[in-house]
Structure 1
Amino acid sequence: MIKAVFFDIDDTIYSHRTKSIPMSTLESLKKLRENNIKIFVSTGRLPWAVNMTDVINGVFFDGYIYMNGQLCTLDNKIVFKNPINKDDINNLYRYVKENSIPCIFGEEKDMYINIKSPFIKNALDNVDIPMPPVQPLERILENDLFQIIPYANSSQLKDILELMPNCESSRWYEKSLDINPKGGTKALGIEKIMESLNLTIKNAIAFGDSYNDIDMLEKVKIGVAMGNSNKDVKNAADIITDDIDNDGVYNALTKLKLI
């Protein structure tokens, strides 16, 4: 029996064309809660990039999976944290400093950059996230990091991954990578939240549209790809619904008889 539904944010529940959550999606979320089905966000975004924007539009969610599964909350309490290996951070620090590579760094509460870059601005503008503050690079040696997003050429990105053997990457923007601890995925985040509810991942379904959603779509009971997803995401899903702006969430939940 389905007890929880997990939603990616960008172009899954939040439309970047209309800059809003579709009314049919808002109604769907309300009906799920009325039917005693818990609702969760499962995003690659950092907490700062959710809290500093209007993408949630005041909707109450039972919990959040941030940074592709590295930080998970349930009822406003952290149930799982998965910081990046310190040796990997030290290796990255030296390389980024020597090559002046702009990066986004994600801590438990804060998000910052080391260098202002038009590539970062363009990427964040595409997902309606404001530019985070610049901080000294040395800060990454002091506090736990859960996600790093370097903006570099393909050769440099390859070098960075080789310097961080305890990490893996996923892509949502052509000139960057989301770098997270190896094995730390949205699927793992769902498992941790479901364990906290004394349930399994097979009591959950998930909606997504991008590469970093593939693992959770494959692991849950039913994975739903939005109609605006790319081919690889659709191939990983059990169901392909309509585009976000054509009532994709509502239509899938209705078909599954969850609302």
Structure 2
Amino acid sequence: MTYKIVFFDIDGTLVNEDKQIPEDTVEAVRQLQSRGVEAVIATGRAPYFFAPLAERLGIDSFVSLNGAYVVYKGEPIFSREIPRESVEALVNHAAKQNHSLVFQGHSSYYANESSHPHMVESVSSLKVDFPGFDPHFWKNESIYQIFLLCEKHEEHLYDEVVPGLRYIRWHNKAMDVIPSDRSKAQGIEALLRHIGVAPEEAVAFGDGLNDKEMLKAVGLGIAMGNSHDELKPFADYVTTHVDEGGIRNGLRFAGLIG
């Protein structure tokens, strides 16, 4: 199979635990691009979290916010917000549990509580700017994703409370909240339709629980060596650790670079 496009997760895939991109990854992506293969970011992050990384890699196409907001060559081509009534129901229920929320639009994000310790700890791990404070942001803007700030033993408090939502843990103090029918795969499928490329002609790299659907939606799904153990069964191939040439070795396995 000749692959035409490669989708890359960010955290644990393009960047390591210190949020640094290994130099051999930069070189591998550039070599891929020099051969006429498109490189696309596919991440749970919002666009304002990865703009410097995309610029460094020369990537102007991305699937962001776990598939909710898709841009191809700088132009938005697909978006799907969380229904306003679902956001409101979550806001009301989280307030009863004394849990804070962070609302993500496509160009900015705001917390409904200022400097909550769970927010500070989880967002600090991303090495990005903290959100602004506006508890009513969700009433005036389209919301594509929400950080629910709670610990693992509290997850059961949200079981079947708000129909149509699902929760993906990415930090011991935070979960992504997205529509239950949404994933990176949905955004990837929208982008592939837009450019007329078959899923079988695509490759995807990931390492986290929100990459399961993505790895199964393409012709070749590659898990990083440092992947969550629950992800690896969904991959066609497991490459090496992000700091041990994982991207380079995966692209070589796919026959895309020398």
Bucket of the pairwise TM-score, normalised by the shorter protein:
over 0.9
Alignment of 1:83-102 (within 5 A): 83-102=81-100
Aligned residue in 1 for 2:58: 60
Q: Which moved more, 1:103-112 or 1:87-96?
A: 87-96
SS of alignment partner, residue 207 of structure 1 = strand
Alpha-carbon distance in structure 1 between the residues aligned to 2:151 and 2:13: 28
Match of 1:132 in 2: 131
Counterpart Cα distance in 2 of 1:219 and 1:104: 29
Corresponding position: 1:147 with 2:145: yes
CA contact (8 A) 2:150 2:175 kept: no
Q: Which residue of 2 aligns with 1:14?
A: 15
The one-letter amino acid of 2:231's match is V
Contact kept, 8 Å, 2:151 with 2:172, in 1: the verdict is: no
Q: Partner residue of 2:117?
A: 118
Does the 8 A contact of 1:21 with 1:57 survive in 2? Answer: no
Partner of 1:30: 30
User: SS at 1:163's partner residue?
Assistant: coil
What pairs up with 1:199-218 in 2 under 5 angstroms?
A: 199-218=197-216
Aligned counterparts of 1:96 and 1:170: Cα–Cα separation in 2? 16
**Tell me, what secondary structure is at the counterpart of 1:172?**
strand
Quote the residue 2:76 is aligned against.
78
Report percent identity of matched pairs.
27
Secondary structure in structure 2 of the residue aligned to 1:36: coil
Letter in 1 for 2:37: I
In the TM superposition, 1:224-239 aligns within 5 A as 224-239=222-237
How far is 1:114 from its partner? 1.2
The 1:77–1:161 alpha-carbon spacing in structure 2 relative to 1, beyond 3 Å, is farther
CA distance in 2, matches of 1:151, 1:251: 36
Counterparts of 2:77 and 2:11, CA distance in 1: 24
Q: How many residues align?
A: 255
- 1:209 deviates by 0.7
User: Deviation string for 1:20-50 (max 9, x for gaps)?
Assistant: 2111111111111111110000011112222
Q: Which runs of 5+ in 1 are unaligned?
A: none
**C-alpha distance in 1 between matches for 2:153 and 2:223:** 31
Contact 2:68–2:80, Cα closer than 8 Å, also in 1: yes
Alpha-carbon distance, 1:110 to partner: 0.8
Does residue 39 (structure 1) correspond to residue 14 (structure 2)? The answer is: no
Out of 211, 214, 220, the residue aligned to residue 222 of structure 1 is 220
1:191 to 186, 189, 192: 189
Q: Displacement, 1:231?
A: 1.2
Distance 2:73 2:140 in 1: 29
Q: TM-score, normalised by structure 1?
A: 0.92
5+ unaligned residues in a row in structure 2: which ranges? none
Question: Do 1:48 and 1:111's aligned partners in 2 also have CA atoms closer than 8 Å?
Answer: no
The structure-2 alpha-carbon separation of the partners of 1:138 and 1:161, relative to structure 1 and needing over 3 Å to count, comes to farther
Letter in 2 for 1:133: G
Q: Is the partner of 1:13 in helix, strand or coil?
A: coil
Would the alpha carbon gap of residues 153 and 21 (structure 1) be closer, same or farther in structure 2, given more than 3 Å must change?
closer
